[in-house]
Amino acid sequence: MAGSSLMENLFQRTLEDLIKGLRLQLIGESAFLSKALDEIRREVKSTDADTKANALHKLTYLSSLYFYDMSFAAFHVVELLSSTRFSHKKIAYHAAAHSFSDDTPVLVLITNQLRKDLTSTNEFEVSLALECLSRIATVDLARDLTPEIFTLLGSSKVFVQKKAIAVLLRVFDKYPDAVRVCFKRFVENLESPDSQIVSVAVGVFCELALREPRSYLPLAPEFYKILVDSKNNWVLIKVLKIFAKLAPLEPRLAKRVVEPVCDHIRRTGAKSLLFECIRTVVTSLSDYESAVKVVVVKIREMLVDDDPNLKYLALQALSVVATKHLWAVLENKEVVIKSLSDVDSNIKLESLRLVMAMVSENNVAEICRVLVNYALKSDPEFCNEILGSILSTCCSDVYEIIVDFDWYVSLLGEMSRILHCQQGEEIEKQLIDIGMRVKDVRPELVRVSRDLLIDPALLGNPFLHRMLSAAAWLSGQYVEFSVNPFELMEALLQPRTTLLPPSIRAVYVQSALKVFIFCLNAYLLQRGNAASSSTFDRVVPDVPGLVSERDGPESSSLASCDAPVHCKQDEGFNPRVFDQSFEGLSVEHGGEETATLGQASASSSLKDSFTHESIVNLLNRVELAVVPLTGSYDVEILERARNILCFTELIKRDLLDSPVQKEESLEREGVQASQIIKLMHDAFSNDLGPVSVSAQERVPVPDGLVLAENLEDLETIFGDVQLPSLNSFSLGSPQYEERAGFSIPIHESKEEPVPSSESTSLLAEHRKQHGLYYLPSANKEDDYPPANDTKLQAGTNDDDGDLVKLTEQLLLSKKKPNHAKPRPVVVKLDGDQATIATNPRPKEDLLSGTVRDVLLGSDTNPTSSQGQASTKSSSKRKGKEKLNVDSAKENLGGVEKHDQGNPGSRKSKHHSHGKGRRHGSPGKKGAETEENGQKLKQKSSRTHSKHKARQRAEVPLNVVAQSPVIPDFLL
């Protein structure tokens, strides 16, 4: 056996040989590694300790570098741990720390070996065991090895004591009951004369306090002493992190800590400590104006520093303090604006957040102008960050900061023309949302939509297709505000729309149908106005449906507006207003042509455009553009295209042949065409509004209703219901004439038709039954005049200096400007205002509760092993003061003010009072024993009363008390 072991050692490849072999393998590395793993699997089973150690060394290297699974060697690691050679132990502990986990089966086998090494006289073996335990400790290991760790906390060797303190973080996390044994000795290390031990103890406390800071409030005096006396920057940084968590929990503590923190800010030259002080002030001490002013001065120094890291940290601190002290950002606005063009992308993003923090109702237009200029000169990624920030800020709280919606709609249109814009989906949402919420802005929305639809460059940008969908929908939904509907039809049916995806083209086709019906309805109204009143009454009866439910009262009020300058609705003819005639428009505004900026001429040109020839050309254009769409494979496009063609077929003969027909035929066909157009017009005339997200929740479920998971039994339930035929187009007439496969009604009598269509009546009935879930119609007195037309004036050649001057001018003006118009009505719903969810207090874990019990002096009975450990510790710590918060309050509560600034005097008085109290208690007991004449019953009753008093004292310990926890001398 000895010979074989010797041969294995001689010819075994070491870790150095393995690394050299890997570096020489230019190709075939996997084959080399497979061969090496086979060798390791064979060598790790060797009985020779050297061979096994060398194999585990190589296996650990390959596992850490190439992520090979080494669980097969777990038992061999345990075998090597029992070796007496330190080099073998080192390799075994390293392999265990790297590969062992809570699920490793052989983990329970190393408990005794860890206990043996933790009690070893060799401090390096103890160090290896502690390092491994900090990585692989489980609940069982932490419970079984707590006494040994408690002993090591008082070790005379600093090297061991530091690692014993560090391992407590893992032990407390796995086994919280270890706090009852080790925590008091752990706290004593905060007062150790060795700075290294204090440093490690503060580091562990910092990690613990970040989880549940409330439990560590009683230790504020110790942390405060370190904050005042320590000269170690690393320790001060950790203490500042602790106070940043404790200060919000206790306002009196924040008042006490703010001055030492400011002293460190003024004195320190270390950038790391300076920034930690700044972060502590801006996050936890921002209520103290004096501290914030000191911090802002230091932040400005960091902003102008050449180091980009310091500049980024300063911007971060400024963004935190901006929530409560916006003046701090305004004082540094020049540097913040210049940082938008910085090379570092992180600095640019932080600067952008700060700029958006300065946005208010008074300066939103100017800041957006500055940001759009930067977006034009930025890379695609940052350009979209700017645009996204503008969109999210302006739409917050249902457009709360937007006063001029005409300007904002124009801004949305300008954003789409920026080269790198990829915000088409968000722009689409806001355009439609604004159109449904703000009635006064709809004329501007149609104008912007028209400009977007006729721009051929936007059709080829896939990021803007959703925005074009919104523009098409708005053009069709609010076509009555269009200056030239024929131009909209050309834009919606242009050949280049083939570049759009099918879902967007379907919206185009549907909007084209709306515009088409609008033009036909306007043509009929114009023809009726041109004819005599008697003929008009016979050809186009006075039907309320001709005046849309959406536009009737509002448009009439707009038509009678006393200030035409603010009535942009009069810019074009509105055929949906039945009472409005061209003659009335020309007479009413005849003397104000200059003031209305050409509105009368626009109305005149639009009046002349609805001629028989223009309608014929429109019909031909629609057929020419829509017929190819009937071959589309997309069902949405196909259905909408056929709808347009069928509708065109229904009215084409009536409108095209009417000039050459006889008078009776003219009257009959005119009534028929007007009825069809009126019905379609009514179908699109109902206004669409926003729906609350909670609307469905407010619908009560009827009693006894069982909602089935599917509708398979629907046919069984409603089998007797005769559904209407899908290929019939019914207008309610008893007789039909088949034309081109469609049912066209023929009116034998000239009776007036019903005033409303079937769809309108059904909608009215539904509104009557469920009026709670419909938006209330606005009253005339609530209507606002349209917003002023503010154009976006953004120059691409502006340099950073001009942008800074522009921003400086707009930010310095604190006086609210006098707007020329009131803010338009913005429809708001219940679901728009997001409910502010109060963050529930996190559930206290077992570790935090145990720490609080120990600090508040709760009497608990630890396990037998813990009791033995505490007994051993009491003998070793004889003469030391016992840590007790209640005694600290008694000893330090009466300290005079002139002693509060002297930590040494506080410490001496603390010890002297403790000694006096300890000497007094034995005397008291002796006096009780001298009273031999008392009966046994009295003694038992006294003992019983003491027990009750102790129980009463223990009851309030579970209650979270903030103010009594910290000794008064600190507060």
Instruction: Count the neighbouring beta carbons within 10 Å of the beta carbon of residue 916.
Output: 11
The CA distance from 98 to 219, in Å, is 35
The structure tokens listed for 757 are 């269509």
The pLDDT value recorded for residue 702 is 82
Cα 527 to Cα 327, 532, 587, 806, distances in angstroms: 64, 10, 20, 55
The structure tokens listed for 243 are 């106070």
| Domain spans in the chain, listed from the N-terminal domain onward | 1-99, 514-684, 700-776, 856-962
Residues making up the chain, counted from first to last: 971
Work out the angle between the directed axes of helices 405-416 and 442-453 (0-180°, nearest 10).
10
The pLDDT value recorded for residue 460 is 86
The structure tokens listed for 949 are 């008093």
Spell out the residues 6+ positions from residue 458 whose beta carbon is closer than 8 angstroms to its own: 416, 417, 452, 464, 467, 468
The pLDDT value recorded for residue 616 is 85
Determine the residue type at 751.
E
- Note whether 545 and 760 are within 8 A (CB): yes
pLDDT mean for each 10 residues of the chain (971 residues): 56 89 86 93 92 94 92 94 94 96 92 95 95 95 95 93 95 94 93 93 94 92 94 95 94 93 94 94 92 93 91 92 88 89 92 92 92 92 94 92 94 92 93 92 94 90 92 92 90 90 93 90 77 39 39 37 36 37 34 35 52 85 89 90 87 60 50 77 77 79 72 64 45 36 36 44 58 47 37 46 57 50 78 50 69 72 43 41 40 39 41 40 41 44 46 41 46 50
The pLDDT value recorded for residue 8 is 61
The pLDDT value recorded for residue 768 is 61
The structure tokens listed for 2 are 């000895």
The pLDDT value recorded for residue 563 is 35
Q: Which residue has the tokens 């001018």?
A: 809
Q: Which residue has the tokens 């003024």?
A: 266
- Note whether 404 and 362 are within 8 A (CB): no
The pLDDT value recorded for residue 317 is 92
The pLDDT value recorded for residue 313 is 93
The CA distance from 295 to 195, in Å, is 29
Spell out the residues 6+ positions from residue 801 whose beta carbon is closer than 8 angstroms to its own: none
Q: Which residue has the tokens 């996190």?
A: 842
What are residue 118's DSSP bridge partners? none
The pLDDT value recorded for residue 696 is 79
- Note whether 731 and 679 are within 8 A (CB): yes
Residue 183, CB-side half-sphere exposure with 13 Å CA sphere? 28
Cα 915 to Cα 416, 871, 886, 903, 911, distances in angstroms: 80, 21, 15, 19, 6
The CA distance from 127 to 121, in Å, is 11
Buried b (16+ CB within 10 A) or exposed e, 679-709: bbbbebbeeeebeeeebeeeeeeeeeeeeee
Cα 158 to Cα 195, 198, 200, distances in angstroms: 10, 11, 11
Spell out the residues 6+ positions from residue 381 whose beta carbon is closer than 8 angstroms to its own: 345
